[in-house]
A and B are shown apart, each in its own frame.
Chain A
Amino acid sequence: MQGGVPGNDMKSWLNWKEMNQERIVLLIAILIFIVASFTLPGFFTPDNIVAIVRSVSVLGILALGMAIVVIGRGIDLSAVAIMAMSVAWYLQLLNDGMADGAAFLLVISGVLAIGLLNGFLVAYAEVPAIFVTLASGSFVFGYVRSQLIAQDAVPVPLGHWMQLFGGVRYFDIPVEVFIFAALAFLIFLFLRYTKWGRYVYFAGDNPVSARNAGMPVRPMLVLRYVISALIAFIAGLLTAASLHSINTRVVNSTLLYDIVLVAVIGGIGLSGGKGGVRNVLFGAALIGIMLNAMTIIDIPLIYQSLIKSSILLAAIIIDGFLNPRDEQTAQQGDI
């Protein structure tokens, strides 16, 4: 449906004319995986593969939230700030001795409020999403860091459920992988099979048409930013669970850039209306395999950034080349 894939057999998958960014990314990911398996010692081992999946889980969860917003023709630059600061505040409240339930309720209301504020400003005040979320992200970081928490890193209190949760494993696979899979499946169902999920695509494809057809464009826009904020909160909880603390310096890292990278490289067009959960999975697979391989080869971080950005550019250019904007169709209205 949303991908517009005419046939599912392998033949049409490999058909050059049917190539799109999503498939190229998957092929490159598979290629790197095969090459790395043969050439890099310790790459193709169960432990390392679990490590790859684990490393992309949090990134992938954040990219799912970003995907929903981007498909609807927006962008959420406050995701990382919400992720780190909401959990830091939550842990701070616990460390200060507040009851778990009350602290959780307080924090989740804060997360909802920021999501609602983002959505309201974009939908009703009609401020461009990039400015709204950039500002709200800075605000969240600055306010929480200066007013609500004491240091950069806040530890998980001893014996708290998050600490235990972080160590849970099924079949030697860490719990965040299952949570990523479950969220991916839920969002897949939401986007593909629910009315509100379909509205995301309609509004992303053409917001004016959607409005004229009688779709609730603005309320749906608010909903998307709220979902994105909630997903960021979940990602933050998982990060704290596995690291036993949350370091708010992550807000100033390249994590936000990596989230956009995963979404965009998988083929979710920034122009909206295109892509789905599958694109996030493929994008996350490519980034995860690549980062892992680069770490094994021991490429310095600054070079890793260079490589990541080059790949992003290449993916966008190749997609533009394979799916060109058709000028003739643009003019077709006035024969």
Chain B
Amino acid sequence: METIVRLEGVTKAYRGVPAVKNVTFDLRKGEIHALLGENGAGKSTLTKVIAGVVEATSGTMIHHGREVSYKTPNEALEAGIAMVFQETSLVPSMTVAQNLYLGAEKFLNRLRGTYISAQQFLQSLNFPVDPTAMVETLGAAKKQMVEIARAVHHNAEIIIFDEPTATLTPEEKRHFFALVRRLKARGVSIVFISHALEEALMISDRITILRDGELVASGETREFDREKIIAAMVGRTLSAELYRQRDEAKLRKPGHKVLSVQDISMSNIVRNNSFSIFEGQITGVFGLIGSGRTETFKVVAGIYKRDFNRGGTIELDDKPVRYYVPREAVKDGIVYVTEDRKSEGFFETMSIAENIFGGLLAAGHEKAWVINAAEMRALSAEWTKMLNIRAINDNARVVELSGGNQQKVVIGKGLVQRPRVVIFDEPTRGVDVGAIAEIHQIINRLADEGLAVVVISSYLPEIMNLSDRILVCRQGRIVEEFSPAEATEEKIMYAAVH
């Protein structure tokens, strides 16, 4: 089969830190190519280079025999390369049809005409999506369908799927695979990024495996089996240590019941959710995107307000509390470490010292009215050392740090408030492998010190490895509790989707 895209020696570095190192990758016409690797292995970055989302630092890309360099996703799309993102890039406040034709509208745009042609197009793909529905009202699977339809509509000859099945139910997955096969039959080349090895083995023609940004294995799918893939993906002791089954005897016993949540509700995102959080252990919360896991804990931390009527009760040390602003929760020792550090975690134009000091000021532990710069620097030095935050110099703005160091700053900013309950939401999202291990150590240390720790994650191995008990969230409520010693990825996933 002819090679349609070839990357030669591609390196992509973010501020000097390579996410992809010297990778040579080719994609043939009409094949399904699975791209596997751990979190942070560089799968997304590699495909973003192909799709023109980011520019390669060095190396060349050959498309249809010509050397090219797509500088924007639009340029790549014009050339027939579409990418369907992990987190959807749809505009929530527009209808399905409008999203479908986004960026390709005719000069004179008639809404009715758009709906009719969108309807026909969606039907031709056999997608049961209403073209007049607002995207924000759709579930994860339907959003995915709209994304795919958009890629197909642009007559893309290459479609890149970044973790397409993570949010789908098994039924939806079957539909998705059928669609992928149909696309393949039409001669479309597909790059398929996944964590689920079985899916990759089942559907792909060829497999490429990345580890720490480097290509470690590539070949026909029939040459691979599960063990071989895992060996290639992990390939070193660090990861094996990062993610392994917990031993029953090593689980921390629950301490004092610090939080007791009864039937809390917030609009229709959190519904009658009840659970308890104990000191001295890590409570892992697993749930798919849209399951209300983040919203539930944002209610607990006072960031969102629960419903006023029938909103349920939250008891801290058996005393009922109702927070209207996060400030009240912080004063009571409940700290939420966000999943989206850039937009609601750190202060990007400020230094590490100012960020951490900001946490201290806000908690009200700093009684003095006058800011003491020396004290601020000392505090910052203490925390940078404790959390091993690495920066070029003391004046570096947080936005200039690597993802792992940014995350540590956000964690430091929370911990300096001397919390009793710490809620980590996706603590290792967009963080390199080395920093993941360090962040896990920090989290374990907090639980050992007797704090009540909550870890929300959609990455199962992380939940399995960190938690002393696992709560599974689905449709706005905790539906099941597991002990990590007996839980398997399959059981947890089953609870999360059924």
A:204-233 near B, CB below 8 Å: 205-206, 208-216, 218
Bound complex: CA of A37 vs CA of B52, how far in Å?
54
Residues of A within 8 A of B338 (CB): 212
Contact B399 A329 (CB under 8 A): yes
Residues of B within 8 A of A215 (CB): 327, 358, 361-362
The answer to whether B473 has its CB under 8 Å from any CB of chain A is no
Convert A309-335 into 0s and 1s, putting 1 for each residue whose CB lies closer than 8 angstroms to a CB of B. 000000000000000001011111111
> Which of chain B's residues has its CB closest to A7's CB?
B395
Convert A115-130 into 0s and 1s, putting 1 for each residue whose CB lies closer than 8 angstroms to a CB of B. 0000000000000000
Contact B362 A335 (CB under 8 A): no
> Which of A26-34, A174-182, A188-196 forms contacts with chain B?
A188-196
- One of B19, B354, B371 near A195 (C-beta < 8 A): B371
How near does chain B come to A188, taking the closest CB pair, in angstroms? Answer: 13
Contact B362 A1 (CB under 8 A): no
The answer to whether A43 has its CB under 8 Å from any CB of chain B is no
Knowing A208-B344, A211-B326 are in contact, say whether A332-B14 is a contact too (CB < 8 A): yes
The answer to whether B402 has its CB under 8 Å from any CB of chain A is yes
How near does chain B come to A12, taking the closest CB pair, in angstroms? Answer: 12
Bound complex: CA of A212 vs CA of B334, how far in Å?
11
Bound complex: CA of A10 vs CA of B328, how far in Å?
47
The answer to whether A101 has its CB under 8 Å from any CB of chain B is no
Question: How many A residues touch the partner, as a band?
Answer: 35 or more
The answer to whether A273 has its CB under 8 Å from any CB of chain B is yes
Bound complex: CA of A328 vs CA of B342, how far in Å?
13
Contact A195 B361 (CB under 8 A): yes
The answer to whether B397 has its CB under 8 Å from any CB of chain A is yes
The answer to whether A90 has its CB under 8 Å from any CB of chain B is no
> Which of chain A's residues has its CB closest to B12's CB?
A335
The answer to whether B45 has its CB under 8 Å from any CB of chain A is yes
How near does chain A come to B344, taking the closest CB pair, in angstroms? Answer: 4
Contact A333 B403 (CB under 8 A): yes
B:352-377 near A, CB below 8 Å: 354, 358-359, 361-364, 366, 368-371, 373
Contact B344 A334 (CB under 8 A): no
A:148-206 near B, CB below 8 Å: 192-195, 197-199, 201-202, 205-206
Residues of A within 8 A of B371 (CB): 192-195, 197-198
Interface on chain A toward B: helix, strand, loop, or mixed SS? helix
Contact A335 B358 (CB under 8 A): no
The answer to whether B297 has its CB under 8 Å from any CB of chain A is no
The answer to whether A6 has its CB under 8 Å from any CB of chain B is yes
Contact A205 B326 (CB under 8 A): no
B interface residues with partner A (beta carbon < 8 Å)? 14-15, 19, 40, 42, 44-45, 53-54, 86-87, 301, 303, 325-327, 329-331, 336, 338, 340-351, 354, 358-359, 361-364, 366, 368-371, 373, 393, 395, 397, 399-400, 402-403, 406, 413-414, 417, 429-430, 432
Contact B429 A214 (CB under 8 A): no
Residues of B within 8 A of A202 (CB): 347, 350, 358, 362
- One of B329, B395, B400 near A6 (C-beta < 8 A): B395
Contact A205 B348 (CB under 8 A): yes
Residues of B within 8 A of A334 (CB): 44, 86-87, 429-430
Residues of A within 8 A of B19 (CB): 335
Knowing A212-B303, A329-B15, A335-B44 are in contact, say whether A4-B397 is a contact too (CB < 8 A): yes
Bound complex: CA of A194 vs CA of B371, how far in Å?
6
- Count: A-B pairs, CB below 8 Å: 126
Contact B373 A331 (CB under 8 A): no
Residues of B within 8 A of A209 (CB): 344-347
Bound complex: CA of A329 vs CA of B397, how far in Å?
11
Contact B40 A214 (CB under 8 A): no
How near does chain A come to B454, taking the closest CB pair, in angstroms? Answer: 16
The answer to whether A274 has its CB under 8 Å from any CB of chain B is yes
Counting from the closest, the 5 A-B pairs by CB-CB distance are A214-B330, A214-B362, A205-B347, A208-B344, A214-B327
Contact A214 B329 (CB under 8 A): yes
A interface residues with partner B (beta carbon < 8 Å)? 1, 4, 6, 192-195, 197-199, 201-202, 205-206, 208-216, 218, 273-274, 326, 328-335
Contact B331 A214 (CB under 8 A): yes
How near does chain A come to B416, taking the closest CB pair, in angstroms? Answer: 10
Contact A4 B351 (CB under 8 A): yes
Residues of A within 8 A of B303 (CB): 211-212
Residues of B within 8 A of A201 (CB): 347, 350, 354
Bound complex: CA of A150 vs CA of B15, how far in Å?
65
Residues of B within 8 A of A273 (CB): 347, 349-350
Contact B362 A213 (CB under 8 A): yes
Residues of A within 8 A of B329 (CB): 214
Contact A194 B361 (CB under 8 A): no
> Which of chain A's residues has its CB closest to B395's CB?
A6
Residues of A within 8 A of B344 (CB): 206, 208-209, 212
Q: Could you list 23 A-B pairs, sorted by A, with CB under 8 Å?
A: A4-B395, A6-B395, A193-B371, A202-B358, A205-B347, A205-B348, A205-B349, A206-B348, A211-B303, A213-B326, A213-B359, A214-B329, A214-B417, A215-B362, A216-B327, A274-B349, A329-B15, A329-B400, A330-B342, A332-B15, A332-B403, A334-B86, A334-B429
Residues of B within 8 A of A332 (CB): 14-15, 402-403, 406, 430
Residues of B within 8 A of A274 (CB): 349
How near does chain A come to B179, taking the closest CB pair, in angstroms? Answer: 25
Contact B326 A328 (CB under 8 A): no
Residues of B within 8 A of A194 (CB): 369-371
> Which of chain B's residues has its CB closest to A269's CB?
B349
How near does chain A come to B346, taking the closest CB pair, in angstroms? Answer: 6
Bound complex: CA of A67 vs CA of B56, how far in Å?
41
> Which of chain B's residues has its CB closest to A192's CB?
B371
Bound complex: CA of A24 vs CA of B397, how far in Å?
21
Kindly name the residue among B325, B358, B393, B406 whose own CB sees the greatest number of chain A CB atoms within 10 A: B358
Bound complex: CA of A205 vs CA of B371, how far in Å?
18
Bound complex: CA of A194 vs CA of B372, how far in Å?
9
How near does chain A come to B374, taking the closest CB pair, in angstroms? Answer: 12
Residues of A within 8 A of B341 (CB): 333
Bound complex: CA of A92 vs CA of B270, how far in Å?
59
Residues of B within 8 A of A218 (CB): 325
Bound complex: CA of A208 vs CA of B347, how far in Å?
10
Residues of B within 8 A of A199 (CB): 361
Contact A335 B361 (CB under 8 A): no
- One of A6, A213, A326 near B358 (C-beta < 8 A): A213
Residues of A within 8 A of B330 (CB): 213-214
> Which of chain B's residues has its CB closest to A334's CB?
B430
Kindly name the residue among A192, A205, A213, A334 whose own CB sees the greatest number of chain B CB atoms within 10 A: A213
Bound complex: CA of A183 vs CA of B40, how far in Å?
52
* 20 further contact pairs, Cβ within 8 A, besides A214-B363, A331-B54: A192-B371, A193-B370, A197-B371, A198-B361, A202-B347, A202-B358, A205-B347, A205-B350, A213-B413, A214-B329, A214-B331, A216-B327, A218-B325, A326-B399, A328-B54, A332-B14, A332-B430, A335-B45, A335-B403, A335-B432
Bound complex: CA of A175 vs CA of B351, how far in Å?
39
